[in-house]
Structures are given as C-alpha cells and as structure tokens.
Structure 1
C-alpha cells in the first residue's frame, strides 16, 4: 500500500515558507489581541479600563459583544424598545413635530425571520437602551449610591471616571446615529432635530399571574432633542 504523500516545509520555496510563517504569526497575534480585548471588556473596573475604555468599547461594539444568556438564562421580566420623533422643516419654513414612531419592532421582526444568519445591522436599534443605561461602572455606581445616602448630596461621589464619561459620550453618539438613520428613512432629509423615548414594559410578577387584568407596568423617559447626524443606510 503506497504511503500518503506529505509536503514538508523544507521542500517549499523560500517565498512560500516566509508567507506561511507570516500568516501564522499574524493569526496568533490577532487571536491574542482579540482575547485580550475581550478579557479587558468583561473584567471588573481597573486602571487599564479607566484609561482605555473608549478604545476597548470601540473595538468590541457592536460586532463582538457577547450575550451569556444562552448559557445562564434569566427569566424574561420586561420588554423594551425606543421610539423616535423629529422636528422637520415644512415647505413654508416652519418646524413641525411628528408623532412618535416605533423603530424597534420592525428590526426585531426582521431578526425573527433570520434565525440562522441574522444581520448585525438589525441588532443596532434594539441595543440602544442597553448602551444608554450601561455606561456606568456598577461597582463605582454602588459606592456612589451608598455615599449619597450618607451625605444627601446630589453630586456623584466619587465623580464619573474618564472611562464612564467616554462610555456616556459613546452611548449618546450611538443612539443619536441610530435615531438619525431611522428618522431619515421615515421622514426624509429635511430634519431639524431628533428625540428618543425609551419605553420599558415590566411584565406582571409571578405571584400576580392569575390576575387577568394585570398587563404589567409601562414606564418611559425621553432624551433631550439632538441634532441629526449625517448617516447612510
């Protein structure tokens, strides 16, 4: 029985060996870099994150974000989304405020129809609330809450860290960009300003499951009016 033929590196030309070595080194370097950034993104607040959190978030979001609910699911307790309205310029030059438009549900419907290979773009709108409410460091925020109860002061103690400030600015820019894109698709280019409303529907508690008329509690809050960004769909 003939032995299978093997191609040894020694039989390759110098150019091909160099190419293989370069590809191997670059692959290892990228994997090491990616796992390093992922570890920094998920580890507790630390001096490295404080200094470079904006760069870490820019690399991880939105394509490398991870959701551990697949492995440790929590009961679904609420449903959320966001609405958009605009002030647009009318033909006579005045400003007209539109009605609120739901821009989350259409994207969720598209995701439900693309179970195997869902588009990452369709995840941008549902992620707005997560970005808006997730920029604070939980450990520092817990410390601020304890200090506020003791001193009754409104100013945060300790103050917002540079990484939190960068995260807040990044979250607002993200929300502004998504809202501008959705508003442009709905109302065209003659938009003066956009506004976002975050809506949360808390489902009835398990102990209240037998109450037929209990549909949960709906709460919302509005962000300030923002100038639209120039975005392409």
Structure 2
C-alpha cells in the first residue's frame, strides 16, 4: 500500500513539474529552449492550457460572450430536424451560481475555446494558422458533449452541429462616463459541422451510421 502511494505521489509530482515547466516556456520570452522545443510546448499547452492576459489593462474584457448551439438530428423516418438554439453558457452560469467551488471547466472552458477559435480563424472562418483545425475540433467536441448530456436530446442521433457567439456589451457603471456604442447583442454564426464518431465520448457512437465516421469537413450554412 505504501509503495503504491509513494509511486502515485512521485508520478503526480513529475507531472506537476513538467506542466509548470511547459507553462513557463509558453509564457516566457523567446529563448533557445523555446526555439528548440516550441512544437512540444505548443502540443502540451493547446488547447486546454492556453494563456492570455485579457483580464488586465490596457484592454480588459468589456463584454459578456454567450455560446449557443443547435443540432441537426436524424429522425426515425429517415428525415432531419433542427433544434432551437441552446444557450450553453447559461448552463455553465447556472452550475456556477451558489457553488462555492465551481470547476475550472464550468468557468472557463467555453470562453477559452471561443477565444482559441477566433484567434486561429479569420472572419470567414478559415484557419489562419496551424492550430485552426485543432480549435475547430475542440469546439465541435465540446458542443457534442454538451448536447449529448441534455435530457431533452438524450439518445438522439446528432448528425451536425452549429454554434454561434453572442457578445453583449457590459453596461457602464452609473458613475462612469464611458458609454458603449450599442447595448444590443450581436451574433456571429459558426459554420455547420458534421459529427463523426471521433467527436463523441468513447462508446457513444457505437450505433451510428458508418458513413458518419468519414473525416470531418466544414460545411456551408444551409
């Protein structure tokens, strides 16, 4: 028993040290180590552990961004139907509210995933770097996991998903002089994405159509 505990602690300690080293190299100025091991550092950091400084001046966040999703489902008669928009951010907010110890996932996963996607795509949703496809895959898998967990969609055959980001300006305080240009939300629709077994949790796609296992491709909005 003691040997097992010692081994577990040693493995945990090694993992923590490696993680701290990778994060340090990621945020550190360019140097010999980062130049030699940049790809390994990026593979470790992205997409889950990406770092940014948007909390601080001179450009703190001044808007709330909600992430909404809808799905195209296969029906029993061989047809398709599209769900309404489902506010994924509202689900996270409800899980965090009155929770003294909310999870990192509930607080940051959607927000960071959207930032990652927008930073790696242009306004036409075309990847502008090597991490573009990775960010798309990350967003797609988050959407599928969230939709599969909804009781209203339990057991449904989700074939495609679409997300949209809905930024809403944060109102200025009563004593503030800065006024937002508009208080109305804006909508930025993502493309429709076909869902494959690779996007689902292990075992979740066992009964799916084999044709859906084909490599994914971004589709135009119908």
Structure 1 length normalisation: TM-score? 0.61
Partners of 1:41 and 1:120 lie apart in 2 by 20
> 2:201 aligns to what SS in structure 1?
coil
Question: Where do 5+ consecutive residues of structure 2 fail to align?
Answer: 205-222
Change in Cα spacing, 1:49 to 1:100, as seen in structure 2 (3 Å) is farther
1:118 aligns with 2:123: no
Deviation string, structure 1 residues 128-152 (Cα, Å, up to 9, x no partner): 312212347xxxx9xxxxxxxxxxx
Question: Where do 5+ consecutive residues of structure 1 fail to align?
Answer: 1-15, 142-155
* Matched residue, 2:62: 77
CA shift, 1:98, in A, is 1.5
1:198 aligns with 2:165: yes
Change in Cα spacing, 1:101 to 1:126, as seen in structure 2 (3 Å) is same
Partners of 2:168 and 2:145 lie apart in 1 by 25
Aligned residues: 184
1:231 aligns with 2:201: yes
Structure 2 length normalisation: TM-score? 0.63
Deviation string, structure 1 residues 152-180 (Cα, Å, up to 9, x no partner): xxxx9xx95xxx41x22221111101100
Deviation string, structure 1 residues 11-58 (Cα, Å, up to 9, x no partner): xxxxx9xx98x9998787555423320112223566346533542225
Partners of 1:120 and 1:216 lie apart in 2 by 29
Range with bigger deviation, 82-91 or 40-49:
40-49
Name the one with the larger helix percent.
1
Corresponding residue to 1:218 among 176, 179, 185? 185
Corresponding residue to 1:55 among 20, 30, 43? 43
RCO comparison, higher one (Cα < 8 Å, 6+): 1
Superposition misfits of 4+ residues, deviation over 4 angstroms: 22-32, 64-76
* Matched residue, 2:217: none
Please give the residue correspondences for 1:143-182 in structure 2 after superposition, counting only pairs within 5 Å. 164-165=129-130, 167-182=131-146
Partners of 2:74 and 2:94 lie apart in 1 by 31
